[in-house]
Amino acid sequence: MTAKAKSLHEALDPSRALVPHVQRVNEVRVKSGFWPKLTRNLSRLPFADRLLSVWYCARDPETPAPAKGVMLAALAYFVLPADAIPDVLAGIGFTDDAAVIAALMSAVGASLKPRHRDLAREALRRLGEP
């Protein structure tokens, strides 16, 4: 397995989401890739509000580290081009991403505060979404 393939495998492995090295890698991936991918695909993301809420929560210093680690792993999954269902498939490309975000919301949804949802709504307004 190449180093790049190993890194990708680690980023997508939920059991490694809280390993400091993996967390740092995911944070870098999310920092560089989240907004470009979000804005490119906004019209195809019916879960954009939840995705953005998670992004704001993951960046909040008050979010507990374990929740933040899992959130970064889920956001990295969204950002990475290699996932279970390729994003380029019309109509179904983001269903796996939506499932990951839904599962995440069930697992660590208590960490999402009204301020994160408010920030997400404001960001969507600025981006031109209702």
**Planar angle of CA 85, 10, 52, nearest 5 degrees:** 60
Residues 6+ apart with CB under 8 A from 79: 29, 30, 33, 34, 37
Confidence of residue 11 (pLDDT cuts 50, 70, 90): low
Does position 7 have pLDDT exceeding 70, yes or no? Answer: no
* Number of neighbouring beta carbons within 10 Å of residue 43: 9
Tokens (6 digits) for 46:
């019916």
CA distances from 65 to 18, 37, 58, 80, 94 (A): 8, 25, 9, 22, 27
Q: Say how many domains are in the chain.
A: 1
The pLDDT score that the predictor gives to residue 92 is 64
pLDDT at 41: 86
Per-residue pLDDT for 85 more than 60?
Answer: no
* Over residues 43-72, mean pLDDT: 93
- Which domain range does residue 67 map to? 3-126
- For the chain, percent of residues with pLDDT exceeding 70: 77
User: Three-class SS of residue 47?
Assistant: coil
Q: Is the pTM of this model over 0.85?
A: no
